[in-house]
Amino acid sequence: QKEVEQDPGPLSVPEGAIVSLNCTYSNSAFQYFMWYRQYSRKGPELLMYTYSSGNKEDGRFTAQVDKSSKYISLFIRDSQPSDSATYLCAMSEGNTGRRALTFGSGTRLQVQP
């Protein structure tokens, strides 16, 4: 079983739709949770960064962390064709000295104009 599970998709939605992306994890020591966006043959771009449980909003993006369920989500409102990319969840233990990020395998999103 992978430490972080993420549905690979592809996920195809019409422009303007609300997109929901999710990851589950098994390591209860994870405290820091991130979402990255990666366009084809580019480096990952940090979208959202959250510490512990709770919600965080930034523009059209909302990140949610539920540590009790070991479940994190990213919502994209009013999706645009330019949002078409692979979305990676990532997490780390942080304070324990382990800063390495453990990534999900990525969900490929296609927003149709």
Q: Are 105 and 38 in contact (CB under 8 A)?
A: no
Summarize as ranges the residues that interact with another protein (CB under 8 A). 32, 34, 36, 41-46, 49, 88, 90, 92, 94-95, 97-106
CA pair distance 108, 89, nearest whole angstrom: 12
Q: Considering beta carbons, is residue 19 or 91 the nearer one to another protein?
A: 91
CA pair distance 64, 62, nearest whole angstrom: 7
Q: Considering beta carbons, is residue 3 or 15 the nearer one to another protein?
A: 3
Report the nearest approach of another protein to the CB of residue 47 (Å). 11
Report the nearest approach of another protein to the CB of residue 55 (Å). 18
> How would you classify the pairing of strands 11-14 and 32-38?
unpaired
